[in-house]
Amino acid sequence: MKTKSFLQMQAYDCIKNSILNGELEPGQLYSETKLSAEIGISRTPMREALQCLSQDGYISIIPSKGFMIRQLNEKDMKASIEVRCAIEGFCTTVIASQIDTPAGKHLLSDLERTLKDMDDALSDNNLEQFIYYDHQFHLLLVNYLHNDEFNQIFQRLLYLIQLTSQDALSTEGRVKGTVDEHLAYFDALKSGDGQKAYGIMIHHLMMPLEVHKSTVELKNKQ
């Protein structure tokens, strides 16, 4: 039983990483049997891993055919952003009230370092690294509360967050906008102004949805 659980976890992590790094792409039908052979894991733990991946929002299972990588749509984007607003907005309020504590100061140091990493990635014109450090910035906020439920929800949203970031940051001017919003948020948090930091965070998280809607409207007019 323990071996089965381990193999299921191994298959889950392997497929999840392949999705996140782009090796498995949306819009293509994948075979459970073929993937089992490629990874070297029997079909039972593979099937269980795929069920978990489906529940966590990474894939859609096509009965008797295989599975497809989930594609981003406006409904899913909106839902994931609203969940993030609830979690990160709450985290922001708590953090701002504790910003002068040793834990708060340590977080500020970590956030500042991550902002520097984002700036370096931008200078190198490395969008993939920029998105990675963007996510790390937000993970630092969520992890600060040591709330396992928050962490698990955030992990389940990871793929949708990545798709949302890629969609938004492909729009001209959005990378600079993201940097400016992070800096403004950091300054508000550092000063202990929780209300201002909260407003900046909600605006920042909602922006990709506004960008997406504008892009769709523009395409429909053409």
Over the stretch 115-169, which tens digit does the pLDDT of each residue have?
999 999 999 999 989 999 999 999 999 999 999 999 989 988 888 888 888 888 8
Do residues 79 and 49 both lie within one domain? Answer: no
Domain endpoint, select from 21, 48, 69: 69
The answer to whether 125 and 133 are in contact (CB under 8 A) is no
Q: Do residues 191 and 210 both lie within one domain? A: yes
In this structure, the strands spanning 59-62 and 66-69 are antiparallel
Confidence of residue 222 (pLDDT cuts 50, 70, 90): low
Give dist(CA 194, CA 120) in Å, integer: 28
Residue finishing a domain among 39, 69, 99: 69
How many domains are there within the chain?
A: 2
Instruction: For residues 191 and 143, state if they share a domain.
Output: yes
- Closest by CA to 79, choosing from 178, 134, 145, 156, is 156
Verify that 94 and 59 share a domain, yes or no.
Answer: no
- pLDDT-derived band at 1 (thresholds 50, 70, 90) equals very low
pLDDT: which is higher, 213 or 53: 53
Residue linked to tokens 């007019």: 221
Q: What's the start-to-end Cα distance of the chain, in Å?
A: 57
The domain boundary, picked from 69, 95, 120, lies at 69
Give the torsion sign (CA, 101, 102, 105, 111): negative
Tens of pLDDT, residues 21-34 = 888 988 899 999 99
Length of the chain counted residue by residue: 222
3-state SS record for the chain: CHHHHHHHHHHHHHHHHHHHCCCCCECCEECHHHHHHHHCCCHHHHHHHHHHHHHCCCEEEECCCEEEECCCCHHHHHHHHHHHHHHHHHHHHHHHHCCCCHHHHHHHHHHHHHHHHHHHHHHCCCHHHHHHHHHHHHHHHHHHCCCHHHHHHHHHCHHHHHHHHHHHHCCCCHHHHHHHHHHHHHHHHHCCCHHHHHHHHHHHHHHHHHHHHHHHHHHHHC
- Mean pLDDT (whole number) for 103-112: 98
Q: Are residues 45 and 107 in the same domain?
A: no
Burial (CB < 10 A; 0-12, 13-18, 19+), residue 122, is middle
In this structure, are 50 and 120 located in the same domain?
no
Which residue range forms the structural domain that includes residue 15? 2-69
**Both 187 and 87 in a single domain?**
yes
Q: Is the same domain home to 154 and 126?
A: yes
CATH code for position 190 = 1.20.120.530
CB count in 10 Å sphere of residue 141: 24
CATH code of the domain covering residue 60: 1.10.10.10
pLDDT beyond 60 at 49: yes
Same domain? For 54 and 105 the reply is no
Question: Do residues 83 and 54 share a domain?
Answer: no
Q: Fill in the amino acid letter for 26.
A: P
- Regarding whether 53 and 106 lie in a shared domain, the answer is no
Do residue 119 and residue 170 come from a single domain?
A: yes
pLDDT at 163: 84
